[in-house]
Each structure stands twice: as C-alpha cells, then as structure tokens.
Structure 1
Amino acid sequence: MRVDVLSKEYPPEIYGGAGVHVAELVRALRQRPDLETRVHAFGAPRDEALTASYPDHAELASANGALRTLGVDLSIADGCAGTDLVHSHTWYANFAGHLSSLLYGVPHVVSAHSLEPLRPWKAEQLGGGYAVSSWVEKTSYEAAAAVIAVSAAMRDDVLASYPSIDPARVHVVHNGIDTDDWRPTAAPDRVRELGVDPDRPSVVFVGRITRQKGLPLFLRAVAQLPPEVQIVLCAGAPDTPEIQAEVVALVDDLRRHRDGIVWIAEMLPRRDVIALLTSATAFACPSIYEPLGIVNLEAMACETAVVATATGGIPEVVVDGETGGLVPIEQATDGTGTPLDPDRYVADFAAALNEVVADPERAAAMGKAGRQRAIDAFSWGAIAERTVELYRSVV
C-alpha cells in the first residue's frame, strides 16, 4: 500500500510538535515492508528518497499567508497522483489531503494536533487568513475518512468543535517519543557554553512564543522562585510583535531583580536541548492549550521532572506526583483557554515549581519515573502499528 504523508513541517524545517510527530511517524512507517511511505512537505528541496518538497509560489509572494498555503496545497495534491491513501497533518496540509481525496478517490486521514476554533489568537497573526484556515480545517475534518486525535482530550475537542463528525471516525493514537534519541546525556561543558551553570538548579522552558504556550504566565511565576534557581528559556518564533514585546518586557523586569535568566532565541540542535534538559531540575510546560505535548515526553525521556498545566492531553502524559506536577487551571470557554483567575494560576504554577526544585532527590526520582513511562507507553513502533491498522480499516 502506498501512503502519502502531507505536512508543512518536515526535517530540516521543524519548529513545533506536529513536525516532530511527522518526522518520527514517517521514520517508523518506513521500517515496514508492507508500506511505501512518501512525504510531501512545504519548503526547500530535501535530499531524501520518496520525499518531495514544495516552495511557496512566487506569484503569491505578497499574498496573505493563508493564500500562500493554499497555493502550495494545490501543488502537493497534484504530486499525490497514484497514492492509495493520504494522511495530512495540520490545516496547512489538510487542503492538499482533501483535494487529493476528491481527485483520486482515495481515503483522507487527518491527524488532529491542534484545532483552529481553539486558537482564536491566530487571527492576530493571519488576519482574514484565520477565517480561511478555519474553513479549510472544518471542510477537511468533516469529509475525512478518519480523524486521528493525539489524545483523548483532543478527541473530545474535535467532536465539540465539529459535532457533525461521526464519533466512530475519530480515533485516539497518542504522540510518541524515540527514547533511544531522547535520553539523559550529561554535557556540563556544553551547558556552560550555552550560558547555564550546571551546578545550580534550573528550570527549562522549550517552546514557541505563542499564546497557547503560556510563556508570559510562566515568566510571572518565575518571580516567585528562589533566586538561586536559573531560568532557561529556549523560546523563539514569536507569533506577533505584540507577544514578543510582552515577553521581552517580562524578561527585562526579571533580570533587574535576579540573575540566571538565560534566553536562547535560536532553534537549538537536539543534542543541546538534551544537554539542557539533562542538567535541569525541572521542565516547565505552562501551556493553556496543548493537545498532548511532545515537549513533555522529550523532557521525561531525559529523566527531567515536568511541571505542567492540567489541560488538554497533558494529564495523559504527566502523572501528578509521580513524573512531576500538574497545575490546576480554570479556563475561559471562548476558545482562548485564558485562565479565569490568572493570578491564582501563576501562584499555583510557582508553588508547584518550588515544590520540585526544593527537593532535588525527589525531582530526580520523578525524572526516572518519567523516562520509564515514556519507554513503556509512548514508543513510535507501537504508534505506527496502530496508525497502519487505521489505514487498513479505511482503504
């Protein structure tokens, strides 16, 4: 069976969890002799067999970002001729999958990594393009042969956002982690080169500067941590100038009152992220919207205790009191996920972090439990097997 996987992100152009998911899933699928797995991805040419790349159309260079995306989707749909099934990831590639299904009469499987109705702040970034992306997602999901939700919470969100979808067509297949690649690796000299003292406690944040990742809320919580705790922000790719300015102001204010605030804005290679996680006392995930959260799995695989918001699919990954701490949150139901009481959430997040960093031995034990959970429950081989079973059920 030939399966064509469609994605905006694919190595070396990865900036979020969906891209990590696609890369690892494709690698696992390509180990199976019963499949021919092709990839169609946005971006510059890639030197990889069975992988096609599609740049933006020059004619649309000045167009709204959503229109540029649809232009690429048309080319991808043309490239899918001859496939038996298309599997798209995120709204960026959903339109290509939907068109391919119509053109070639093949099933379209959609993976739900996030949902446009639950990301209304995207209107800040895309303007009218947000209405286009929302239409693309709704149309593609409702017509898909199957929808894969990366968590049970995401399945609930899919059915709430698109109630016309038959629940029998929405299946849970979790994200995964390669625990051979992601493993604790001490590299104190490299950690120092990155500006972090490996002999001091540290809390690491890894993520894009977006509303959903909750970075401004986390920075407010940092003010309540002991001064000896370093804060390592691996944070870049801001959605808008406004949130970038907000984060800059919060970081500047923290630096006026404490040292040990390290902000790394560029995308780090995996080995550097692993070195920082291995050195860290805790990993912070203050997301207000997170379908599952691959970053938490990456931290757990590196034996790092995780403190995260109890929202979305995160409680399906992080076990409160065992692999880290879950911070309760009451959220607005308008799609923003905004905390109803931001001050209380910030205080609770700070308290959870303080509890972990105050007891390094317990933090280390949580980290070891987290790695074992990542190995036992989130291997890519098992995830690929469940995905192929779903493919065969709709072909």
Structure 2
Amino acid sequence: MKVVQVLPALELGGVERGTLEIAKGLVDAGHESVVVSAGGRLVTELERAGSWHVNWDLGKKSLLTLLQVRSFRRWLEQEQPDIVHVRSRMPAWIVWLAWRRMDPATRPRFITTLHGMHSVNRYSAIMGKGEQVIAVSETAKRYLLDNFPEVDPAKVTVIHRGIDPDEFPRGYRPSAPWLEQFYADNPQARDKFLICFPGRITRWKGHLDLVEVIDQLKTHLPNVHVLVVGSDPKGAFLAEVKAAIEARSLTEYFTFLGTRSDMKEFYALSDVMLSLTSTTAEAFGRTVVECLSIGTPVIAYSHGAVEETLSALYSEGLVETGSIVGIVEKIVTLASLQEPKRPIENHFLLNDMIRKTLAVYQRVAS
C-alpha cells in the first residue's frame, strides 16, 4: 500500500507530529510512505525513518496556489498512490480539486483528518469531504457533524491522538546535568511552585487569563512561578502579554522559554500544568496527555477535547470554563496536599492511533 500525506509544512506542532508518527507506522508495517509539504525542521527525521518527502508548498492561502491543481493531478496520476490523506484546509482544497477530476476507477482514496475546530464556513467544509473522515476526538466529531450537516456520520471515524508512554514515562525525573543547566540559566525558578504553561503564544490559548490567575494566586502562594513554553510567530501578542504582566507588577513570576524540544523535562519538573483555552477549542490537546502520562496533574477549563481527556484521566483537574477563581482554588488545594492525587495511567496510546489509522487505510483501499 502506498500512502501520500499532505500538509502545509513540517515544522513543530501536533499535526506535523501526527504525520510523522503515521509515516513511521506505515514504513514499519512494510508500506510505502510519502509526505508532501513545504519542508521544515522535521523533514530530516521523516526521511531518517524511511519515508519519502516531496517539497511542494500547497498550504499558502492564496488564489495563486490554485494554479497548482493541474500539476498535482498529474503527479498523482504518475505516482498512483492507494491513499491520499490531507490534514489541513488549503492543501485539502488543492488535493480535492485535483482528485475529483481523476478517473474514479483508478484514483486514490481520499481521506481527511479534522485536527482543529476551524471557523464554520465553506472554506472549512473541505475537511468533511473525505471518502473517510478521521476526527481526532469525540469533541472534534461532534463539532464536524453539528456544523456541517452535509457530512455523512457513517463515514466519520474517531481516532484519538496518542502518545508513546516510553517517551513520556510515568514518574520520569530530569537528569542532574539538565537540572543544573536549567537552574543556572533560570535561577529565578529555583525552589518555586512551578506551573507549566505550554503552547504557541496566541490569544486563544489563554495567556491573558494566565496573567489574571497569577495576579490572584500570588497572595495565596507567594512562591509560585510560571514556565511559559512556546513562542509567538508574529510577536505582537507576546508583547501584549508581557505588557499585561508588567502592568500588574508580575514580571518576577514568569519565565518565557520560547519553543523547546525538551518538554518531557518541563512536565516532570513542574508541580502542575495549566490549560486555559476558552474560545477556539482544542480538538485533542496533546500536551495535556503528555503531561498526564508522566504523572504531573493538569488543571484546565472544561472546554473542547481537553474536557474529554481530563474526564478520562484526571477529572479532579476540570474547572468551569472562564473561572479564574476556580483555577486559583484548584492550584491552592493541590499545593496544600501532602500527597496529591495523580492522574491514572494514560490510555491515549500512539500504537493504538497508528493501528486504527492503518486499518482505515486498508479498509478504504480494498
């Protein structure tokens, strides 16, 4: 079986990571794996695992990108894959427009995966046009069917994202050299109650709510400190967040670490992780599951698929969406416990995700 996955680029992110994981699963199972993207830092890892990368920018949101439909159709006819699997809206439009003009008897099967709760419009409707549609959570499936009634529920399969428990092992602790270097670089974080706040610095991730939380929390827990892990691609919102912190004289409570590849260490080092998404919902929330897998508690708004995963693994961490007071109270209670209750063993597993995805491929290909 030959499978082509298409996405905008291979930089960091949940979509990109899932693409690499499925690509490796295909190669390990003896299939041929091809990924089409504009390239990025993960290409080397992809190719090292046995996949073939085709550098092709189909993700630029421009009418000029539509000019590539014909050439992509010719490429598909030449390569003759069994499956073409798209994970993002603009590439999905290009692939679908190319695919629908191919001979139905010989063209590949067309699969989409819904990774995000996109704005509800005709542009987003493409993610429901797959012959089979994979939703990364029950929450994502509900969003798709509620907002795009033309989608046939029978063709939607829920396959939760999964993580490798060996990569995020229960009870993991950072090494002494890592800790020594971290505290040398960030002495302000030593001997503090550490809150991990991972994710791209965008308005919908809840960074301004985080500022409000710390403003209220500091009187109850004066040794609190936040590790903000992630970056702002444009920089404008990061400036707004830092201005809000400075306006409340909270600078000493925050460390901004940028994008990091050693998230496992930060999950393990922290006393708790927060997830404060309250507008655009998370379709799955990989960082939540990674952190829970290690055994560090997560406190989060009951919003989107984070509610789904926390309900399964650590329901004690759920708080009414938008309740700053509720988040503060949960943190204070957690900090006061001698033996805080830990999340149950993670059952959102990478091997299950790969096995179920390959089963969808094989079902539609046959």
Per-residue CA shift, 1:248-272, capped at 9, x if unaligned?
Answer: 2122235x2462311123x112x2x
What's the counterpart of residue 337 of structure 1?
none
What's the counterpart of residue 264 of structure 1?
257
Relative to structure 1, the CA distance from residue 309 to residue 67 in structure 2 (aligned partners, 3 Å threshold; closer, same or farther) is farther
What's the counterpart of residue 350 of structure 1?
328
Instruction: Give the CA deviation at 1:191.
Output: 2.9
Instruction: Give the CA deviation at 1:323.
Output: 6.3
Relative to structure 1, the CA distance from residue 71 to residue 221 in structure 2 (aligned partners, 3 Å threshold; closer, same or farther) is farther
* 2:273–2:291 CA contact under 8 A, matched in 1: yes
- Provide the C-alpha distance between the structure 2 equivalents of 1:233 and 1:76, rounded to a whole number of angstroms: 41
What's the counterpart of residue 85 of structure 1?
83
Instruction: Give the CA deviation at 1:84.
Output: 0.8
Out of 290, 296, 299, the position equivalent to 1:307 is: 299
- Provide the C-alpha distance between the structure 2 equivalents of 1:240 and 1:392, rounded to a whole number of angstroms: 44
State whether structure 2 residue 210 is matched by structure 1 residue 218.
Answer: yes
Instruction: Give the CA deviation at 1:320.
Output: 7.6
What's the counterpart of residue 186 of structure 1?
174
* 1:141–1:147 CA contact under 8 A, matched in 2: yes
Per-residue CA shift, 1:16-54, capped at 9, x if unaligned?
Answer: 222222222222232112x22211122259441433243
* 1:286–1:308 CA contact under 8 A, matched in 2: yes
What's the counterpart of residue 33 of structure 2?
37
- Provide the C-alpha distance between the structure 1 equivalents of 2:86 and 2:239, rounded to a whole number of angstroms: 34
Relative to structure 1, the CA distance from residue 260 to residue 221 in structure 2 (aligned partners, 3 Å threshold; closer, same or farther) is closer
Relative to structure 1, the CA distance from residue 44 to residue 294 in structure 2 (aligned partners, 3 Å threshold; closer, same or farther) is closer
- Provide the C-alpha distance between the structure 2 equivalents of 1:274 and 1:348, rounded to a whole number of angstroms: 27
State whether structure 2 residue 138 is matched by structure 1 residue 152.
Answer: yes
Relative to structure 1, the CA distance from residue 76 to residue 137 in structure 2 (aligned partners, 3 Å threshold; closer, same or farther) is farther
| TM superposition score normalised by structure 1 | 0.78
* 1:220–1:250 CA contact under 8 A, matched in 2: no
Residue 262 of structure 1: SS of its match in structure 2?
strand
What's the counterpart of residue 349 of structure 2?
379
What's the counterpart of residue 14 of structure 2?
17
- Provide the C-alpha distance between the structure 1 equivalents of 2:337 and 2:22, rounded to a whole number of angstroms: 37
| TM superposition score normalised by structure 2 | 0.84
Unaligned runs of 5+ in 2: none
Per-residue CA shift, 1:89-131, capped at 9, x if unaligned?
Answer: 121431243135325422211111113226xxxxxxxxxxxxx
Unaligned runs of 5+ in 1: 119-133, 330-341
* 2:34–2:52 CA contact under 8 A, matched in 1: yes
What's the counterpart of residue 117 of structure 2?
115
Instruction: Give the CA deviation at 1:181.
Output: 1.7
- % same residue: 21
Write the letter of the residue equivalent to 2:254: I
Per-residue CA shift, 1:243-298, capped at 9, x if unaligned?
Answer: 333212122235x2462311123x112x2x22121110001111121111001011
* 1:277–1:283 CA contact under 8 A, matched in 2: yes
State whether structure 2 residue 193 is matched by structure 1 residue 201.
Answer: yes
